[in-house]
Structure formats: structure tokens, C-alpha cells
Amino acid sequence: MIDRRNRGCALGVAVALCALALAACSDAPSTPPAAEQTAVIGPARAAGDLDAIAAAGVLRLARRRWDGFDTLPRQGLPAERYRELAEAFAAQRGLAVEWRTVEGFHELIPAVRDGRVDVAVANITVTDSRRREVAFTAPLTTTREWVVGAAAASGHALAELRFGVPAQTAYVESLAEHVPDAAVTLLPAGTDPTEVLQALEAGEFDATVMDAVVARPLVAASPTVRQLGELPAPRDLAWAVRRDNPQLLGALNAFLEEAHLAGSDDIAHRDLAQMRRSGRLRMLTLNGPATYYLWRGELIGFEYELVKAFADSQGLVLETVVAPHREDLQPWLQAGRGDLISAGITITAARQDAGLAFSDPYLRVREVFVSRAPVDALAGLKGRRVTVQAGTSFVETLRGLPADMGISIDLAEVASPALIERVGRGAAEVTLADSHVAQIEAAFDERLHLGPELETEQSLGWALRADQPQLLAALNEFIQDRYRGYEYNVLRNKYFRNERRMRRQREHRVEGETLSPYDGIIRAAAEEHGFDWRLIVSQMYQESGFDPAQVSFAGARGLMQVLPRTAQEVGVAADRLTEPRPGIAAGVRYLAWTRDRFPSLPLGEQHWFALAAYNAGVGHVRDARRLAARQGWDAGRWFDNVENAMLLLSEDRYARQAVHGYVRGSEPVRYVSEIRHRYRAYLDHLAALRGRQGVPAASE
């Protein structure tokens, strides 16, 4: 049985080793694939235990809709890993999977209790009251609950504070148990943690209770909110099944035991053998465009995907550990908080002397100048002003150039990606950057010109401790096998040489009343969700240039460039996204969902915020609103206010203080601006056309 004394952070282990459980039953009858359908939970059916589920051939699993779409894991695994684990259990049993969704976390337990699903797959806190409604699996992990509040509340007894917590959460019971005399305001069930933070910052109450894993990034992002304490009892987190399903519960627990749920190794010096026993590899990295970031609900980044490919080759699940500053990476590695560093680290003798071991190079780069106007040779830089980050090797490079070039050096406090964005906006003239970083930024901004490139080549490697010879050997073998191979080149081209991202949109001349080849489909979808159809046409052109076969660098498809995972959330099959009708339906439904995340804004502003969130993600837009308020700008207006804050989130010092981290801020800013400009042009065109036909423009 599972040792309940060692039930710490075990999710990564369980997910990583679910493949072992599948391999162990490879001689079983062929298993049907997991069903792709995801639907809103419907009415109850006759509830049965595992034998009845096996007879039906389908395991019904519940999850919260949009779970993980705006979460950048800074210590741990993305939310979809639970889904992989649940599907592995179903496959082991020869069952198809039918995923069912709920809008709010508080709906999961009633869905199980009432027989509408078989298992609720989520981090559900185990409480006595919930045990009276459902049964819980063995804990997948445990959590501590933090008391979080305004800095001004520090030093006060908890019973003196005014608490605000979402209704129907375990936090209500925790307060009743540990702070029974506190005044408690119940927030609406399903209130987002970011909204709770905003209410705290606004002084609507003094404190709240949150799981530590949720509270940690919120506290780090807020200048006024602190951890005030920690409730004494740790909480188990588990999945839920019906109380009258002992067979299913036993099978789930046996599967989790097969998956070798073990104790936490959050702080551990490990070599490859220990990683294989735990089932996970912990990558220390930074949040940024070349490393690891959140884009439209997907975790991406060259470093992240390359290390994930290595982890996959070893049968390990990749866990990301994001350090707040580059200078924290080596101390965290030496302390055992991660297994390797992957953050664009240059291999140098000084770093090796300081105790780091390096893999063979996985990427070789040069320093390259970045400008708006083409500069093809060093002579073309004569008399130009070059802005670089203070304290970097770029400063020494510039100072080493011939004096007669007359280059002026401007020192800034921001890193290369933000400086390159400034060049793209015309806020800086020229910068010097590593070629791989410059190539990523140029792939997103056709206004940038790269060149000239300097001769000296630098090698990037994965950094390890000296006591990891097994991991070092495996990494070098992986590099030798994959470097410059097909998969490596696909990944390199995806991030550094994606010509499609650099091309300008094709021109479509508008004549007559037809704005696109899909006006009829757009009108119906827009009317259903309360949008001006011409705004949707403008957005569609921005996304795909009216090409239904378009596929983005990250796998977004179709006219509205919807990711397969997003399509699943809105009830559209991923393999139909390149068809006009379902592709448009998926995009408009997703846009409606992003709009509904900003209910307090006036309708006009809602649309701009919805478009920004469609492009960058709701979490990043919420971060930008909070930052705008701190900067003294209007957090309820996009243009000239929140869009300015969005640009700042590309800079390290602001991204580190944001709940959701780095975002390429110029992307949503340009996205919304160009859609608005095109939308207004459509209105002007149609108004002029109706005027020529003698129809008042107001009839539009």
C-alpha cells in the first residue's frame, strides 16, 4: 500500500510512470483510444461500480473547464498532466474516455455524487464534509493553506481580521476550524484567485486563505499583499468517486500504487537513476521568449521543448522550476531544487571553475545587430546609437569595436527581448543580441532586420552539478543523436526561422458589400454570441488572411487560428478546425469566453480586452490591468492605458512581478490595434457604399 507518511508532491511521479503501468499490461486486449469529445456534464444515469463501467466500455471523467489555460507552472507540472494520468488508467482497463466539463470547481463533487460522472479529476481538498458526499482516492499530494492579506494586517491576530473566501471551498471549513471567531465574507462560488487578490489589494477585506501553490505567485506579484501565516493542518488533495463504488476506488488506488507514488523530492541531489525511480526531471529555467512561457493556454519555448524531448526519450515527465532571477539558477541547482539548468547558459571556463558541469553544446550562437532599417555591414553602423543591457557581454563587445565607427552606447536596465521590441516600435535605434533570441523576436515582427553578425561563436549547454555523471552522459548521447537531426531542425525552425510568421499578410481588396469569402457563416456566429460581424471579419483576416488551411508555429489552425486544446474546450473537434464553419464557430466561442472574463467593463472596452486575451491569454491581460493600475493608468481602458502596461510585461522587472509571467507584449498590442484599424476601414467602406446607393449609413 501507499505509505501515507511519504505522500508529498507525488503528482509528477504518478504521471511520469503511468507509461510504465501501460507497458505492464501490453499483453492485454487492444484498448480503445480515449474519446476526444468533451461536453458539459449532463443528467445523471444509472450509477454503477467498475463492473458496470466495464460493461458500458466508457469511463466518464469530470474536470473544470479551461483548467490550466492561464496557469504558468513556476514549480511543478501543468494541469493537463492529471488528464494524462486519468486516461492512462482508463487505457489500462480497456475503457474509452468521455471527458465532461464543469464551469466551476465547486460543481465537481455534485457531479460525482449525483452519478453524472464516475471520477472527478482535479486537486480536490479532502474534508470531512466532502467525505460524507463522495469517496476520495489515496492522496496524490498534500498542500499547506496560507493566510494571505494586506501588509497592514501584519501583526494582528487572525481572529481580528476580516476574511474573504469563495463560497463552497475548503477554505470556508478551514477558517471555521482554525479561526472560528473571524468575520468571514463569502465571495461568489468559483471566484478566480486573481480576482480575490484584486479585492484584497482594493481593501474589500483584510485577508483570505489559499493553497500555498496558488498563493505563492500571487504574493510575489503584489506590492501590497503578504503571507500572514499558515494554517496548522496540511490538507490532502485527491480525486473523487462515488461512495458506493468501492471497486472503482480500489482499482484507482492500485493504479496509483503501480505508478509508484513516492515522497517529495523537491530538494534533492539526484542523478539519472534517482530521476528514473521518481519518474520526473526537474528543469531550472527562466520565464522568457527563448525558454518557457504561456501562449494561448499552451506552454512553449525552445528550451522547454528541447528538454522535454530529452525527458520523453528517458521516459520521464518534465517538471519546470522557474527561478526569479538568472543569478538564482546556480545556487538553486547546487541546493538540489532542480536537476539541470536550461536557460540559454553560455559554456565558459569561469562557470566551470565555479562548480558547474556542462553538457555538449545544444545550440551555437553569435551576437547580431538588430535594427529597423537594414544594416548589412559593420560600416553601416557608423554614428548609430546602440542600446544594450548594462552589465552584459554586449557592452564589452561594443567597446571592442574600432573607435572610428563612432558608435554611441546607451545602457539600459532591460534584457535583449525587451530591447528588440523597443527597436521594433522605433523606441530604440539599434541593439545587439544573441542570434537565437534575435531570430525569435524577428519571427514575430517583420519590421526587424537582423545583421550584421559578429564572428565569435558562443556555445550554449545544459548546466549540471559535478555529481551527476549519469545525467551528463545521457544528455550528451541525446545531443549526439538529435543535434541537427530532423526533430531538432523542426524545433529550431519553429522558433528561429519561421518564415510564415515573418511574411506580411496578403492584401485583400474589398469591393462591394462582401468583406470575406465567409461573410454568411461569420454573420450567424457573431449574432449568436453578440458580436459585430465586421469585427470578427477583421479579426479573422488578422489571424489567417482568410486562409482556412493556415497552421501557426504552435499548432493553431484554421481561419480563426484556434489551438486543438482550445477547440476541445468549446466543443469543436480539432480535426475540423480547418473547415470554415466549425473553425469559425470555435474562434467566436473562444472570443465570447474571453469577453465574459471582463464583465465589469463597458461593452466597447470589453471587445478590446477580449481580443487581447484571445491573442495573449486572459491571465496576461489581467496582469496588465493590475500593472496599469499601479502605474496610475486607467485599468478599464485598453488603448493608451492597459496596452502600455502590456508592453512593460515583456521586461524582466515587470514580468517577475506578474502572476502569469512574461508575455511578448507587442503582439497583443499590435493585434488589437490592427484589428480596430481594419474594422473602422470596413465601417467606412460600407458606409460610403450605402451612401452611393442612397441608403443611410445608419442602417448598417
Residue 698 confidence (pLDDT): 40
In the structure grid, which three cell numbers stand for residue 391, read together?
552589465
Q: For residues 567 and 651, state if they share a domain.
A: yes
Question: Which of 310, 319, 313 lies closest to 285 in space, CA to CA?
Answer: 319
Strands 235-241, 135-136: pairing kind? antiparallel
pLDDT (tens digit, 9 = 90+) per residue, 462-512? 999 999 999 999 999 999 998 878 889 888 888 887 554 434 344 455 668
pLDDT at 700: 43
In this structure, the answer to whether residues 200 and 318 fall within a common structural domain is: no
Dump strand ranges (E) for 435-569. Answer: 449-460, 463-464
The string of pLDDT tens digits covering residues 273-300 is 999 988 889 999 998 888 998 877 678 8
Assess whether 559 and 667 both reside in one domain: yes
Give the model confidence (pLDDT) of 512-550 as tens digits. Answer: 889 999 999 999 999 999 999 999 999 999 999 999 999
**Which of the residue ranges 111-125, 624-638, 683-697 would you say has the lowest mean pLDDT?**
683-697
Answer yes or no: is 509 within a domain: no
pLDDT at 14 exceeding the cut of 50 = no
pLDDT at 597 over 70: yes
Most confident of 262-276, 405-419, 492-506, 609-623: 609-623
Q: Pseudo-torsion of CA 454, 458, 460, 465, nearest 10°?
A: -150
Cell of 403: 573607435
On whether the CB atoms of residues 649 and 623 are closer than 8 A, the answer is yes
Domain boundary at 414, 440, 460, which? 460
Tell me the CB-side half-sphere exposure of residue 400, using CA atoms within 13 A: 7
Establish if 512 belongs to a structural domain. no
Is residue 582 domain-shared with residue 632, that is, in the same domain?
Answer: yes
Residue 171 above 90 pLDDT? yes
Q: Which of 276, 315, 319 is nearest to 141 (CA)?
A: 319
- Inside any domain, residue 575: yes
Beta pairing, strands 408-412 & 385-389: parallel
Q: Are 482 and 309 in contact (CB under 8 A)?
A: yes
Q: Are residues 243 and 97 in the same domain?
A: yes
* Helix segments in 169-271, DSSP class H: 170-178, 193-201, 212-221, 246-258
User: Can you give the pLDDT at residue 133?
Assistant: 96
Where do we find the cell 463569502?
186
pLDDT score at 68: 76
What is the DSSP-derived secondary structure letter of residue 356?
Answer: -
pLDDT band at 21 (very low <50, low <70, confident <90, very high): very low
Q: What is the pLDDT of residues 416-468, one digit of tens each?
A: 989 999 999 899 999 999 999 998 888 888 889 998 999 889 899 999 999 99
Q: Which of 242, 238, 219 is closest to 230 using CA atoms?
A: 219
Same domain membership, residue 287 and residue 241 = no
CATH of the domain at 557: 1.10.530.10
pLDDT at residue 112 tops 80:
yes
Q: Give the whole-angstrom CA distance, residue 321 versus residue 331.
A: 13
DSSP H helices, 302-389, are: 302-313, 329-335, 349-353
CA distances from 256 to 145, 214, 282, 289, 298 (A): 25, 24, 21, 36, 27
Predicted confidence at residue 393, as pLDDT, reads 82
User: Are 640 and 669 in contact, with CB atoms under 8 Å apart?
Assistant: no
Q: What pairs with residue 368 in β-bridges?
A: 433, 453
111 pLDDT higher than 80: yes
Question: Which residues form the domain of 625?
Answer: 519-687
The model's pLDDT over 567-576, given as tens digits with 9 standing for 90+, comes to: 999 999 999 9
List, by residue number, the catalytic residues: 543
First vs last C-alpha separation in the chain: 69
Cβ atoms within 10 Å of 193's Cβ, excluding its own: 18
pLDDT confidence of residue 43: 60
Domain total of the chain? 5
Structural domain contains residue 100: yes
Judgement on whether residues 36 and 137 belong to the same structural domain of the protein? yes
Is 176 a domain residue?
yes
How far is residue 85 from each of residues 56, 79, 81, 239, 672, measured CA to CA in Å?
21, 11, 6, 12, 38
DSSP 8-state secondary structure symbol assigned to residue 80: H
Shared domain for 318 and 390, answered yes or no, is no
Give domain status of residue 579, yes or no: yes
Q: Can you tell me the mean pLDDT for 557-569?
A: 94
List residues bridging with 75 in a β-sheet: 321
Residue 662, CA atoms < 13 Å, CB-side half-sphere? 26
Kindly state whether residue 506 falls inside one of the protein's structural domains: no
The CATH number assigned to the domain holding 283 equals 3.40.190.10
Helix (H, G, I), strand (E, B) or coil at 295: strand
> What mean pLDDT comes out for the span 165-182?
93
Q: How far apart are CA 606 and CA 435, in angstroms?
A: 38
Question: Which residues, in sequence order, are bridge partners of residue 209?
Answer: 147
Instruction: Judge whether residue 12 has pLDDT over 50.
Output: no
Whether 446 and 433 share a structural domain:
yes
- Residues with Cβ within 8 Å of residue 624, at least 6 apart in sequence: 612, 642, 643, 645, 646, 649, 665
pLDDT for the residue 694: 55
Residue among 623, 595, 599 nearest 611 (CA): 595
What whole-number distance in Å separates Cα of residue 67 and Cα of residue 259? 24
Confidence of residue 372 (pLDDT cuts 50, 70, 90): very high
Number of residues written out for the chain: 700
Residue 698 lies in a domain: no
Residue 357 sits in the same domain as residue 371: no
Q: With CA atoms as reference, report the closest residue to 645 among 634, 221, 615.
A: 634
Same domain, 383 and 272: no
Mean pLDDT of the chain: 86
What is the predicted pLDDT for the residue at 262? 41
Per-residue pLDDT, 512: 81
| Residue of 256 and 86 predicted with greater confidence | 86
- Percent of the chain residues topping a pLDDT of 90: 59
Greater pLDDT, 230 or 259? 230
Does residue 566 register a pLDDT over 80? yes
Check whether residue 161 and residue 295 sit in a common domain: no
Model pLDDT for residues 202-221, shown as the tens digit of each residue: 999 999 999 988 898 889 88
Contact 57, 118 (CB under 8 A): no
